[in-house]
Each structure stands twice: as structure tokens, then as C-alpha cells.
């Protein structure tokens, strides 16, 4: 029995079961179960505002000290729990993990920890140090798979457990690196390697996290551009932006420092240009603005530290490409091209390039690139070599003669001030030219810039002309025999007329860029303008149509007579259609009885047709009307109906048509008359003869006479 218990004790946590007695009933419960969790509500860590500039109240510090003491007790209690109870509490009691995360979210950054030593309260620093240490022990226990021979779990189960229950997340890792990596780099590197090895899904999550971090760099740059555009920006705003930049950059720096895997991920995401851009557009801009507001600000030193760390991070990420080249793998050519491309892309940030080449010698790196892969583009290689070459130290100036020294001493102070302003303007123009042409020597650009006041002329001289008086290093000699290069007369002509005469035809009467209507015919392509270019166009000539167009335009509009009828609704066509489309419908049983009536109607219709022919003959003699007057048509229709009624009945129509037979009757339940029932029966038997069965014939009749669209 003891051997069996011993075997159960050596099982991993995910397979182990422990006996549990509840209400007198003993049963086996899994070691990782809600039964074994600690039900207490763990205290969350609360922070207080510490920036080294504003004092902190004693009451606030005392409250923080009391809450931190309870927080430390909870962390000690969590560490003292047994292995299965510890993990059951972490998984099934949300307040335990929230308590640990609250400290990492509210802990002081590394650059504010020394401020605690300057506080008057002696309890603050020891309490913070104790909380800092106990939380780190809890994190180490969370990331340890095997504590002893009886306290361990399977690696695959551990990877799924921490990922499924969000025990270790990307923000958790970022906070861990930000708070603990500078003092515990070896332990943090072990934790990261363990987590990434046991759960590879974290690699993809870290890529998303790094992308978000690079997006934060862009947000900081946007805020700098928008808020620093105002000339009256406050020092507090500058300090906030500096702290924001320091927090984001420190996380990225420590990520690259502690983990080679994360360094490779950064190289895959291409963070090099983002670092150089952040260096020039954020750190340098903040440094200049803070220096103008307060030269004694402590944030200047923080910005300098960030500059050094970002340069080291850039160097570390860039060395990934060199390592690929030295390994001799199949990606050597891609790594060499990537290395050259990164350096070329970063040339847009001149301050970063100047600081980088002053701190690191790139000759050795380029030698590795060239030796590792001989087929690298030589043009790009030479360009990068010149752009990142270190400046040679300046030679000592020649001794000044006593007479010249006396003249300099006697020169007034205002001349020195004017020279300083002139030098500042020259240096600003030199920096602008170096951003455009980073492969040129600074001394050469400065010499040419002093000879020419215009930046465009200086760039033209640097690009197109070769100085005859240049020394072996390419720098013009400082002697007085330097050749004078006159101004280009074409430039003067351009400034005077606005025409850039690059050849003898610019600006003449045939120049379409200057004149709207030029002399002669501008021939483009085959054939002359207006003539057919191909045989198809020649055979498809429609010029005769254009010639006859003016003749047919005379018949575009036809004058119409205004109708005399003011009635908005024209119902003459409906009346005519109703009279002409009327059909005689006779029941099957009454056909013989109505034969005589049909003969009479046929004779009457013949008379009507004769009258219509006479009326049509009269209408033909009318005045070329587009259509008949609706009022006359209605009047003629009414007369025709009256005459027909007179012939049939001997008197004019006196009222409406006889009432139809009643088939509705009384409401249901009240009984119906015999007449109503007879009418219903008659209607049901003869409904086939009274329905609208001639819709198609009537529609065809209207369509044939233009009453409906076809």
C-alpha cells in the first residue's frame, strides 16, 4: 500500500489524484481541481505618484505602506501553499493572478526607483523592495515546470495550461521585462526561453505585440509633430513625451538584450528603420526642445541614455544578418542584400547615421559582407562605405602671426557676432546637403557652401564639377589660389524669363511648353493632322455625313398648334377604344332569338361607318393638325351614343343603367330571399360568359393603334 502511495506521489500534477473526505465520504479528486484552491481574496497592489519633482503626502505614504504590508502577506501565503494547491489557486481563483499582475502594472520603472531613497518615510523603500522580491519569486514558481521529484507536471500540459488560462500573456512578458530584466537578466532569459519552448504559440503572439510596440513609436512621433508645432509648448508636455518614449524604448531594448529569439523576431519585422526614425524624429527633437526650455532638466540625461541604448539595439538587431552570412546558410545572399538595404534606408536620418558611425566602425561589418558573398552589388557597397566612413581627425591649424593675432584682437565684438550667425547659417545648409548627399565629405561641403550663398548652386557644384585645387583627400585647399567658378548664364536667363533653355529650341515660336498656339503644324505619329492614319480609317470615311448634317438640322423641330382644350386629362382615346373594341356577347341559349337584333346592329354599324368616313374626309381638310382636338372627339362620341339610343329606344337616355341583380343579400345568419338565391344561382351558372376573357385581344388592339408601348 505504501508503494502504491509512493508511486502516486511521483506522478505529474495532471495525472495525480488525492484522497478527499467530505461529509464523511472519501473520494479521489484530481490534484488540479477547484476543491484545492485557496478561497481568500488576494490584495491588489496600489501605486502612488512618484516623479521626483512633486512631494508625496505623508498620509498617502502611510496608507500605501499599510496596503503593501497586506499585499506582501498574501504573496508569502501564496508561496507557502503546496504544489497542487498553488496551481489550483492560480487556475481557479482569479484574484491570485490579478494580484500578481497588479504589481507589475503599477510597479515603478527602473529610472524612478532611486527616487524612493530620497523620501522622508523610511518604510517606503524596504516595503517596495520586499514586494518586488516576493512577486518575482511567485513568477519564478509560475514558470517552473519541475520543483522536485514529486512536484512537477508534463511540459506539454504546462504549455497548454498557461496559454489556455491566460496565466502568461504577451503584456505579462512585457511588464516582466520592463520591471525585472535590468537586475535579473539571466533569470528573465531563462523564463522567456522556457515559455517559448514549451508553447510555440507565444512566438506569433510576440510578433503581434512587437508590431503594437512599433505602432506606439509612430504614435509618439505623431504627438511630437502635432504638439511641438506650437512654439509655446510647456515643459510638462515635453517631460510627459519623454517618459512615454523612455517606457516604450526600454521595453524594446530589454527584449533584444535578454532573448536571442526575440532579437531574431525583431530582425524579421524590420525594426531597424523604425529605430533610426524614432531616434531622429523623437529623441533629437525632444532633446532640442527641452534644452531650449530648461538646460538643467534631468530629462536631458535620460534622452542621452536612450540614444545610446537605441544605437546598441540597432547594432544588435543588425548583427543578425551578419550571423547569417557567417553561418554560410542558403540565405547568405539575402542577408547581405538585407544588410546593405537597411543601411541605405537609414541614410534618411542623418543624425542617427552620424552618431552610429562615430560609435561603431562599419568597415569590419562591410568586410564580412563582401567576404561572405562576393556577388554583392559593388555600387551599393561603395556607396554605403563612403556614407558610413568615419571622418578623419582635423589637422592642427597653422600658427598665427603676431600681426594677424593683433588684428584679430582689435576686431570689434559685433564682427564676431555676425560671423557666428553666418557660421550657423552655413552649418544648417551643410546639414541639409548632407541629408541629400551623405556620401560626400563634410569639409568639402562646408568649403563649397562658404563659397556660394545659394544651396542649389552649391549642390550643382558638388554634383557636376571637379575641383582642380582639391587635395588628395578630396577637400579643397584652403589657399587663396582657389579657382573662381562664374555663374551660369543660363541660370540668369531662367531667373529673368522663367524659361529653362536646356537646348537652342527652348522658348522659340515652336515651343509648345511656352506658347499655346505654335507656328506651323505639329505632326504626331503617322499621317498629317486631320487625315486618315490607316486604310480602315480611309475606307470608313464619314465626311459626307458631316457635310449633310446642317441640311437635316433644319427639320429637327416641327411647329405644333396649341390645343384649345384646357382639360388636363385626355380621355378621348379611351372612349374611342371602348366603342371600337366592344364585342357582342350572346349566351348560348339566346343566339337564335337575337339574330334579328344582330342584323339590325350590323345595318346601324354600316351607317355609322359611312358617317365616320364622311367625318374623316372632313378632318383631312383640316389645318395639318398633329392630332385631333379631344374636345371635338368627345362631342362626336356623345352625339353618336345619343343617336344610337334614339334608334333603339325611341327616346334619349334618361338616367343610369338598370341596377344589377342583388347577389349579396342580408348578413349571414339572418336568412336570404328567394330572389337573392336565384340571382346567385344564375350568376354562378353564367359566370363563364360575363368574365373578362378578352384581355389579350383588347391589349393587342390598343398596341396596334399606338395606345401602349410595344
- Containing structural domain, residue 347: 203-388
SS (H, E, C) 644-703: HHHHHHCCCCCCCCCCCCCCCCCCCCCCCCHHHHHHHHHHHHCHHHHCCCCHHHHHHHHH
Q: Given this model, what pLDDT does residue 313 score?
A: 95
23 and 138 belong to one structural domain: yes
Mean pLDDT by 10 residues, the chain (710 residues): 58 89 86 91 86 74 92 95 94 94 91 80 89 95 91 93 94 93 91 92 93 93 84 85 92 92 92 93 92 89 93 94 81 84 90 90 84 72 82 46 41 43 80 79 83 80 58 42 62 68 68 72 72 82 82 69 51 52 43 48 58 54 64 88 78 54 87 90 81 75 74
Cα dihedral 556→562→565→567 (10° resolution): 60
Given CA atoms 294, 296, 299, 301 in this order, what sign does their dihedral have?
positive
Taking alpha carbons only, the member of 197, 204, 203 closest to residue 156 is 197
Is 172 inside a domain boundary?
yes
Q: What is the pLDDT of residue 316?
A: 94
Report pLDDT for 68: 94
The total number of structural domains that make up the chain = 3
Please indicate, yes or no, whether residues 350 and 220 belong to a single structural domain of this protein.
yes
Please, what sign has the CA dihedral across residues 255, 258, 264, 265? negative
Q: Is residue 561 part of a domain?
A: no
Q: How far apart are CA 342 and CA 351, in angstroms?
A: 16
CB atoms within 10 A of CB 239: 20
DSSP 8-state code for residue 281: I
**Which helix H or strand E contains 481, and what residues bound it?**
none
Residue the block writes with cell 523623437: 282
> Which of 402, 391, 390, 348 lies closest to 365, judged by CA?
390
Q: Is residue 706 part of a domain?
A: no
Report in angstroms the alpha-carbon separations of 501 from 450, 492, 506, 646.
28, 11, 5, 102
Which of 198, 229, 244 finishes a domain? 198
What is the 3-state secondary structure of 96-156?
Answer: HHHHHHHHHHHCCCCCCHHHHHHCCCCCHHHHHHHHHHHHHHHHHHHCCCECCCCCECCHH
Residues 183 and 285 both lie in one domain:
no
Name the one residue in this structure whose C-alpha cell is 486631320.
Answer: 530
Asked if residue 147 and residue 75 are part of one domain, the reply reads yes
Q: Are residues 238 and 359 in the same domain?
A: yes
Q: Indicate if 234 and 342 belong to the same structural domain.
A: yes
Are 187 and 211 in the same domain? no
| CA–CA dist 548, 26 (Å, integer) | 112
Amino acid at each position: 500500500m505504501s508503494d502504491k502511495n509512493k508511486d502516486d506521489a511521483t506522478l505529474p500534477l495532471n495525472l495525480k489524484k488525492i484522497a478527499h473526505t467530505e461529509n464523511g465520504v472519501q473520494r479521489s479528486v484530481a490534484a488540479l481541481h477547484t476543491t484545492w484552491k485557496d478561497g481568500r481574496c488576494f490584495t491588489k497592489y496600489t501605486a502612488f505618484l512618484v516623479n521626483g519633482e512633486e512631494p508625496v503626502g505623508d498620509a498617502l505614504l502611510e496608507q500605501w505602506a499599510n496596503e503593501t504590508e497586506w499585499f506582501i502577506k498574501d504573496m508569502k501565503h501564496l508561496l507557502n501553499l503546496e504544489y497542487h494547491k498553488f496551481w489550483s489557486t492560480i487556475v481557479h481563483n482569479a484574484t491570485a493572478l490579478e494580484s500578481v499582475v497588479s504589481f507589475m502594472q503599477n510597479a515603478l520603472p527602473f529610472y524612478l526607483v532611486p527616487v524612493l531613497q530620497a523620501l522622508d518615510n523610511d518604510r517606503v523603500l524596504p516595503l517596495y523592495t520586499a514586494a518586488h522580491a516576493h512577486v518575482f519569486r511567485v513568477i519564478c514558481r509560475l514558470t517552473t515546470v519541475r520543483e522536485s521529484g514529486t512536484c512537477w507536471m508534463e511540459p506539454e500540459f504546462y504549455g497548454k495550461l498557461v496559454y489556455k488560462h491566460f496565466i502568461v500573456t504577451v503584456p505579462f512578458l512585457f511588464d516582466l521585462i520592463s520591471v525585472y530584466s535590468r537586475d535579473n537578466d539571466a533569470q528573465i532569459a531563462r523564463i522567456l526561453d522556457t515559455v517559448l519552448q514549451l508553447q510555440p504559440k507565444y512566438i506569433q503572439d510576440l510578433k503581434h505585440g512587437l508590431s503594437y510596440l512599433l505602432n506606439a513609436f509612430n504614435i509618439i512621433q505623431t504627438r511630437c509633430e502635432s504638439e511641438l508645432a506650437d512654439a509655446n509648448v510647456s515643459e510638462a508636455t515635453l517631460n510627459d513625451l519623454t517618459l512615454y518614449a523612455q517606457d516604450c524604448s526600454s521595453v524594446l531594448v530589454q527584449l533584444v538584450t535578454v532573448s536571442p529569439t526575440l532579437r531574431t523576431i525583431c530582425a524579421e519585422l524590420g525594426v531597424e528603420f523604425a529605430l533610426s526614425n524614432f531616434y531622429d524624429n523623437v529623441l533629437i527633437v525632444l532633446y532640442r526642445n527641452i534644452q531650449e526650455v530648461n538646460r538643467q532638466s534631468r530629462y536631458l540625461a535620460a534622452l542621452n541614455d536612450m540614444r545610446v541604448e537605441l544605437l546598441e539595439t540597432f547594432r544588435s538587431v543588425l548583427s543578425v544578418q551578419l550571423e547569417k552570412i557567417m553561418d554560410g546558410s542558403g540565405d547568405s545572399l539575402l542577408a547581405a542584400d538585407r544588410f546593405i538595404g537597411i543601411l541605405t534606408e537609414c541614410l534618411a536620418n542623418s543624425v542617427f547615421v552620424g552618431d552610429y558611425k562615430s560609435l561603431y566602425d562599419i568597415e569590419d561589418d562591410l568586410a564580412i559582407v563582401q567576404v561572405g558573398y562576393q556577388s554583392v552589388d559593388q555600387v551599393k557597397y561603395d556607396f554605403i562605405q563612403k556614407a558610413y566612413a568615419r571622418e578623419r581627425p582635423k589637422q592642427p591649424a597653422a600658427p598665427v602671426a603676431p600681426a594677424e593675432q593683433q588684428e584679430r584682437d582689435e576686431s570689434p565684438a559685433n564682427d564676431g557676432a555676425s560671423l557666428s550667425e553666418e557660421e550657423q547659417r552655413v552649418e544648417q545648409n551643410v546639414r541639409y546637403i548632407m541629408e541629400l548627399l551623405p556620401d560626400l565629405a563634410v569639409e568639402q561641403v562646408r568649403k563649397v557652401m562658404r563659397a556660394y550663398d545659394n544651396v542649389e548652386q552649391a549642390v550643382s557644384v558638388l554634383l557636376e564639377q571637379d575641383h582642380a585645387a582639391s587635395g588628395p583627400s578630396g577637400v579643397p585647399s584652403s589657399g587663396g589660389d582657389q579657382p573662381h567658378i562664374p555663374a551660369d548664364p543660363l541660370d540668369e536667363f531662367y531667373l529673368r524669363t522663367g524659361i529653362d533653355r536646356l537646348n537652342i529650341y527652348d522658348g522659340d515660336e515652336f515651343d509648345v511648353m511656352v506658347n499655346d498656339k505654335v507656328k506651323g503644324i505639329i505632326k504626331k505619329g503617322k499621317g498629317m493632322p486631320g487625315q486618315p492614319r490607316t486604310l480602315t480609317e480611309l475606307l470608313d470615311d464619314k465626311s459626307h455625313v458631316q457635310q449633310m448634317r446642317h441640311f437635316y438640322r433644319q427639320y429637327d423641330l416641327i411647329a405644333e398648334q396649341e390645343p384649345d382644350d384646357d382639360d388636363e386629362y385626355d380621355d378621348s382615346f379611351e372612349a374611342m377604344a371602348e366603342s371600337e373594341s366592344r364585342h357582342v356577347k350572346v349566351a348560348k341559349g339566346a343566339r337564335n332569338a337575337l339574330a334579328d337584333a344582330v342584323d339590325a346592329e350590323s345595318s346601324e354599324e354600316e351607317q355609322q361607318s359611312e358617317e365616320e368616313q364622311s367625318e374623316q374626309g372632313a378632318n383631312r381638310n383640316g389645318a395639318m393638325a398633329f392630332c385631333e382636338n379631344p374636345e371635338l372627339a368627345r362631342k362626336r362620341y356623345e352625339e353618336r351614343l345619343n343617336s344610337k339610343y334614339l334608334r333603339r329606344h325611341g327616346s334619349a337616355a334618361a338616367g343610369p343603367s338598370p341596377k344589377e341583380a342583388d347577389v349579396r343579400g342580408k348578413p349571414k345568419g339572418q336568412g336570404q330571399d328567394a330572389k337573392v338565391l336565384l340571382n346567385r344561382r344564375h350568376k354562378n351558372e353564367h359566370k363563364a360568359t360575363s368574365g373578362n376573357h378578352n384581355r389579350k385581344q383588347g391589349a393587342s388592339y390598343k398596341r396596334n393603334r399606338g395606345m401602349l408601348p410595344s
